[in-house]
Amino acid sequence: MKLGVCYYPEHWSEKHWETDAKEMREAGISIVRIAEFAWAKMEKEEGIYDWDWLDRSIETLATAGHQILLCTPTAAPPAWLISAHPDILPVDEQGRRRRFGSRRHYCPNNKIYHEYSKKITRAMAERYGDHPSVIGWQIDNEFGCYFTRCYCETCTTEFQNWLQKKYASLEELNERWGTIFWSQTYNSWGQIEPYNLTVAEPNPSHVLDYYRFASDSWVDYQQIQIDALRENIPSTQFITHNVIANLNTIDYHDLSRNLDFISWDSYPTGYAEMGSQDIYAPDEKIPAYAHDLGDPLLTGFFHTLSRGLKQAPFWIMEHQTGAINWSENNTGVRPGALRLWTWQAAATGAEAVVYFRWKASRFGLEQHHDGLRKHDGSADTGYADLLTLKAESQELDDFIAQPLDTPVGILLDYDTLWAMEMQPHRKDFAYMKHLFVFYRACKALGIEPDIISPEADLGRYKILLAPNTFMADENLAQILDDFSTQGGTLMLGVRSGFKDINNVVTEEPLPGLFCELIGAKVIQWHSLPPKIVYSLQSEIPDFYPEATFWAEALEADAGTKSLANYTDFPFESSSAITEKKHGDGKVVYCGIYPELKQAKSLMRHLLASENIAMLDIPEGLTVIQRGKKLLAMNFTEKNLHLDTAFGEYNISARDFTIIEE
């Protein structure tokens, strides 16, 4: 397991550099990430580079035995560049041109900015590409953070060009978008503008394509820097980018495709404070974790999502070390938190954890953001945890040397996420909430799933969960058909097959392209308001007998089994959950939006049918299995008990235990 730290030599007097580098090394740090916001110091005026300070900082770190991870500084273009070319600044959804003075102040489609980005990237690569201590590169910083979708004149033109490449003709676009609605038919490509600033809600097909275009814009912008680096660095140096996994404005499957591996930035307390409402049901009781540990299910969900982007290990490029500055309470962090977070990240598939940051900043927006060391250079709380991790490094390496088994795949499709986001139909029907229910059900049974693209390698999974395939095409239908035909257990969820990939409702009976696959039809669907329930009976053991939130009445074909039926008006006698043999596998359709206890019962049924061993994990405990070892992590303030087939164990509060078969 590699440990690193984010360092900002440009923020500190050079007299501190050598001491900092030595203390990092003594604490077990081996990788130092630098330069992601240092453009103004590298290039003080156009074409006038100052590398001396960066040369000396790299040599200081290298002399202390560190490997260097360099970042391209394009997330914060300098003032001289914006003054010379103000049209680089992005335009927001309200039509306002944003100003210089923070970060992410650029349009990803601006051609002038493309050229300057290539120049600074190429200049850095030419200077440091052959440096023996430079191991890799991070492109920009956190695409999707603060600003994703620009609405400037350049983006309008580029969107029109993007559409012309996608559609064979304007007639095809009008047909696929359904522009006949509200007399929106276009007579020329130049009439098509971004969807913002309309009087009423815009055409959802138009909006979805703009979301796709905006996502592609970042992927293309990233590729400009990938190409500039590859031309000037050896193949031994990697290229990555650090996403924020809980943000959904960019298709991270596309973004990660041409990277050597994906990285993400993990801030457990901040995501728990700011993100719980986005991923738990509004009336759901959130487990009572220790106040300074965040939510391990939330954190684990994003670790798992990141691992699934390339179905490979990932890096944590920024990891919380103490209190942060951008959340609601910005809770103080007690000893032990950093240790527990690091073990969880490593067990879930992180090959490296890079801590943010070495020393707390004395100026700028992040003055209240803790580092491993305080503003005066003295050790902060996270530093003691770092020393503990150094002492445990062999134990950690031995644990993660064991294979991680992921028998269940959960499909994540950003197009469907965006379509659902703009037309949820029912308040709080959110794509990620739906996926999170099934993720938690897996974790409650001791199963580590993968969260993956429909285009991923599905052959490695015994069970494939597709909780929400709201949009579908023949390709996806065939992929899912093949998975089941070849022996896999497939589960489809509510609202599947409702729309085509143009965000237009199917002409076929629901679930559209999946009717034959599931062996049933959706004859009616109801959004259920709070406190309204439809009663059920089910042969699935311990299945909670009420549908809430969303319910679909299914008419099963001959040969399709009903696993649950409605028992009262208006869906009486209709199926709620069906199961059909398909080729060498089977297909289950879950026609209700399940509560966690229902998703857990359904998952237990599916796992048992595939003879996959399960555990019963108590609330507050997170368990990850590597080979024949279990890592049981307690994120609560009380001791917890875990029963396994090979013994009973007590796990202390805010601590972990390694269990061997």
> Do 554 and 578 touch, CB atoms closer than 8 A?
yes
362's CB contacts (< 8 A; 6+ apart) are 11, 375
Neighbours of 134 (CB within 10 A): 22
Q: Tell me which amino acid residue 66 is.
A: H
Quick one: 30 exposed, middle or buried, by C-beta within 10 A (0-12, 13-18, 19+)? middle
- Asked if 142 is an active-site residue, the reply is yes
Of these residues, 36, 318, 579, 595, which one is catalytic?
318
> Do 354 and 33 touch, CB atoms closer than 8 A?
yes
- Strand ranges, E, within 414-549: 450-452, 463-466, 489-492, 520-527, 534-538, 546-547
Residue 218 in tokens? 């970042």
- Residue that is written with structure tokens 């457990």 in the block: 268
Using alpha carbons, list the distances in angstroms from residue 557 to 470, 486, 520, 580.
Answer: 22, 22, 5, 9
> Do 293 and 635 touch, CB atoms closer than 8 A?
yes
> What is the distance of C-alpha 353 from the center of its chain?
17
568's CB contacts (< 8 A; 6+ apart) are 534, 535
* Cis, bond preceding 529 (omega within 30 deg of 0): no
- Asked if 595 is an active-site residue, the reply is no
Which contacts of 13-17 are long-range, i.e. CB under 8 A and separated by 24 or more positions? 14/53, 14/56, 14/57, 16/377, 17/56, 17/57, 17/60, 17/61
Of these residues, 36, 43, 142, 552, which one is catalytic?
142
Neighbours of 387 (CB within 10 A): 14
Using alpha carbons, list the distances in angstroms from residue 518 to 212, 515, 533.
Answer: 30, 6, 25
55's CB contacts (< 8 A; 6+ apart) are none
Secondary structure of 319-376 as H, E, C letters? EECCCCCCCCCCCCCCCCHHHHHHHHHHHHCEEEEEEECCECCCCCCCCCCCCCECCC
Residue positions annotated with a catalytic role: 142, 318
